[in-house]
Structure 1
Amino acid sequence: MALNMRSLLNYENYPAVMRPLLAAIAMLFACAGASGEQVTVEGVNYELENGSAEVVSVNEAELPQDLVLPDTIRHNGGKYALKKLRAESFTTSDGLLQSVTIPGTVTEIEENAFCTTGLKRINMALSDVYLSVDGVLFSRDMKVLYRCPDAYETSERYLMPDCVEEIASYALADCKFQGEMRDCFEMFDGLKKIGDFAFVSSNVVSVKMPDSVTTLGERCFLSCKDLASVKLSESLTELPDGCFDYCSRLASLVVPASVTKLGDFCKRTTMD
């Protein structure tokens, strides 16, 4: 749309020396007014601004079974590189979306971007930031496990390689583990941190932490209703708020002597 500077500012009333500056200001306001525009492509809602695109949400009924996100969104003659997936942008409940392929242009995936039901694989194109291994999302150096799809299928006993140092917030949220991994989720020595809500609502039955773990995030095992046994790291100094809230099968917990601080409501077995 053509921009009529005269109608916006009527800058003929100003000295000629000021007119270029006023015109530039008018253009800035016009660009600001056009920023943040949203478009929908193949069931995915994007926000476009300053040459970049972000995934903000999805229309579940319009999604394909296997979604491939484009690296560029084209709209009204402009090109917008896909850079970011926002928190909770992929929220689904019908189980139809089974895989998401993310382009290498994406440099930020916010915590809990995938609140899905039935997602089996997250595939990542070549990237300097992220890496996908067998459908599980890691940091490029594989030191951080960012997200395991909730319906991930594997016959392996171990989910994580021994180079992982951190399980990120929400990384294993709602996961429905199978076989040996569900019966006993073991972690390799070298893991240092388990993030906030990392295992929330997963179906894990038993957990063994190596003594290399020094940090647990808040509510890291919240609502793990099948969790019956936990071996805590001997290097922990704090059990944070709500870390075992509503784990109704967890009848007892051996707290290491290294722990000097217990958070509020460290373990509640029934909902208020």
Structure 2
Amino acid sequence: MEIPSSYNGYPVTSIGAYAFQNCVSLTSVTIPDSVTSIGRGAFSGCSAMASVTISDSVTYIDEFTFEYCDSLTSVTIPDSVTEIASLAFYVCSGLTSVTIPDSVTSIGSGAFYACSSLTSVTIPDSVTSIGIEAFYQSPEVASLTSIEVSSANAQYSSDDGVLFNKDKTTLVAFPSGKSSHYTIPDSVTSIGYWAFFNCKDLKSVTIPDTVTSIAGNAFGECHSLTSVTIPDSVTSIGENAFAGTQLTEVTIPNPNCVIDENAFDSSVTINAAFYSAPLTYLVEGNSVTITDCETSASGALEIPSSYNGYPVTSIGAYAFQNCVSLTSVTIPDSVTSIGRGAFSGCSAMASVTIPDSVTLIDEFAFEYCDSLTSVTIPDSVTSIVSYTFWNCSSLTSVTISDSVTSIGERAFQRCESLTSVTIPNSIISIGGDAFESCSSLTSVTIPNSVTSIGSLAFSRCTSLT
């Protein structure tokens, strides 16, 4: 059909709302130069219309103008158009290409929603606004793999076919036809609304520790998404951000992160950190790890045996590092492990109570605890690992239980005040430099059980006779 440019001598200047709605036998339409506006839903449901010629006089394409034009395969938007309204080409399932001119400044929300045959889109430098879900495709037929942006565009940019704001601090839209794994660039600080929504083949994503916010529906309905690591930089996760995924468990390490109650499906186990002065608790499944203590904590500290009804089972790596005002710590009998460097640099800590429940004391756990004078290793511990009490300069005595079978490298190196140590007959090996520079050590008894003594194990023990 060729629309006339005039009627009874008067120019045809507009096509009214729903004027051609459901004209299912129309195969093509030519719009004359006299027309300046195309109304809402003007060609809605023209399912056989394979082509449309839009004249240069048209300045605005309204909402739903070409919705459900299933046979429309390509469209050239003239230079006169400045705005493509929301849902203008809604469910044009046959549309394979679209040319957006430099005149367009705004692309509305869902403008090309469910245009399932569209494989790529190029955004010109004139565009200053792109609505949410502008290029959304249903997961069953998603084919869009690339959104490219003119390098001269002042508001937007693209990288590997992914749409960002100009400085790449906000990820705006991820093409739903992309698959497998995606690593978000380090420049990104926020993941926008609906950014990855319904990306059915996205299986995993790496979020850098520059990201602080994940907006609502950002990863909603990503049905193949099984793995995501949320860094401790993230402070907010919006509504339905991960709803409808295959995630079964997620860890949120930042205790100050605001998580919308519907951010994850109810079936997902959320391991999250919580702060209760002076400690930070990481709840994982049915147990709790203490991950941090305010360095301003002072005096005697008794670690609680539970938090929110869950047992405190471990003290995390460097959890109490440089808490220089702590004078003593009591560890409850719910704790089974003390992490690497857990009390490193607690220079005022004169005593620590380690319960029989602890089976692992990791490397550097008590390094530079300059005020620690004595320590008892419980029967539950089988190994004193490397550097455990490294540079504990005030340590005068240590009781090693007969459950311990090995003393690791440099375990007591530079414990300058250690005067004596009794090595039980359970010990099989003593690592290199284990007691190196224990300059006050006057006696040591090595039992017959020891079959291996590492290099320089007792080097610079100048008081040994």
Deviation at 1:218, TM superposition (A): 1.8
Answer with 207-216 or 131-140: which moved more.
131-140
Structure label with greater radius of gyration: 2
Letter in 1 for 2:358: V
Normalized against structure 2, the TM-score is what? 0.36
Matched, 1:151 2:295: yes
Deviation at 1:140, TM superposition (A): 4.4
Matched, 1:56 2:209: yes
| 1:38 match: secondary structure | coil
Deviation at 1:175, TM superposition (A): 2.7
Deviation at 1:211, TM superposition (A): 0.8
Change (3 A) 1:261 1:175: same
Rounded to whole Å, the distance in 2 between the matches of 1:38 and 1:173 is 28
Residue in structure 2 matched with residue 123 of structure 1 by the alignment: 256
The superposition leaves residues 66-124 of structure 1 with CA deviations (integer Å, 9 ceiling, x where unpaired) of: xxx43x169xxx947994227xx7xxxxxxxxxx95659893468xx9xxxxxxxx435
**CA contact 2:252–2:271 (8 Å) conserved in 1:** no
The superposition leaves residues 196-251 of structure 1 with CA deviations (integer Å, 9 ceiling, x where unpaired) of: 22222234321111111111112222222333332321211110111111222223
Matched, 1:168 2:316: yes
**Alignment map for 1:13-32 (pairs within 5 Å):** none
Residue in structure 1 matched with residue 380 of structure 2 by the alignment: 235
Q: 1:191 aligns with which of 335, 341, 344?
A: 335
Deviation at 1:266, TM superposition (A): 0.6
Change (3 A) 1:198 1:155: closer
Rounded to whole Å, the distance in 1 between the matches of 2:386 and 2:270 is 35
Change (3 A) 1:109 1:218: farther
Change (3 A) 1:169 1:157: closer
**Alignment map for 1:214-225 (pairs within 5 Å):** 214-225=359-370
**CA contact 1:137–1:145 (8 Å) conserved in 2:** yes
Residue in structure 2 matched with residue 264 of structure 1 by the alignment: 409
The superposition leaves residues 168-215 of structure 1 with CA deviations (integer Å, 9 ceiling, x where unpaired) of: 222222334x5xxx2221111121111222222234321111111111
Task: Give the share of equivalent positions with the same residue, in percent.
Answer: 20
Residue in structure 2 matched with residue 85 of structure 1 by the alignment: 231
Aligned length: 209
Deviation at 1:264, TM superposition (A): 0.8
Normalized against structure 1, the TM-score is what? 0.58
Q: Which runs of 5+ in 1 are unaligned?
A: 6-23, 43-47, 59-68, 90-99, 114-121
Rounded to whole Å, the distance in 2 between the matches of 1:208 and 1:267 is 18
Q: Which runs of 5+ in 2 are unaligned?
A: 1-118, 123-142, 147-159, 162-177, 197-201, 221-227, 243-248, 260-268, 416-435, 438-465
Structure 1 runs of 4+ aligned residues shifted over 4 Å read: 2-5, 29-32, 48-53, 78-83, 100-106, 124-127, 152-156
| 1:145 match: secondary structure | strand
Residue in structure 1 matched with residue 50 of structure 2 by the alignment: none
Matched, 1:107 2:221: no
Deviation at 1:57, TM superposition (A): 5.6
**CA contact 1:148–1:175 (8 Å) conserved in 2:** no
CA RMSD across the alignment: 4.5
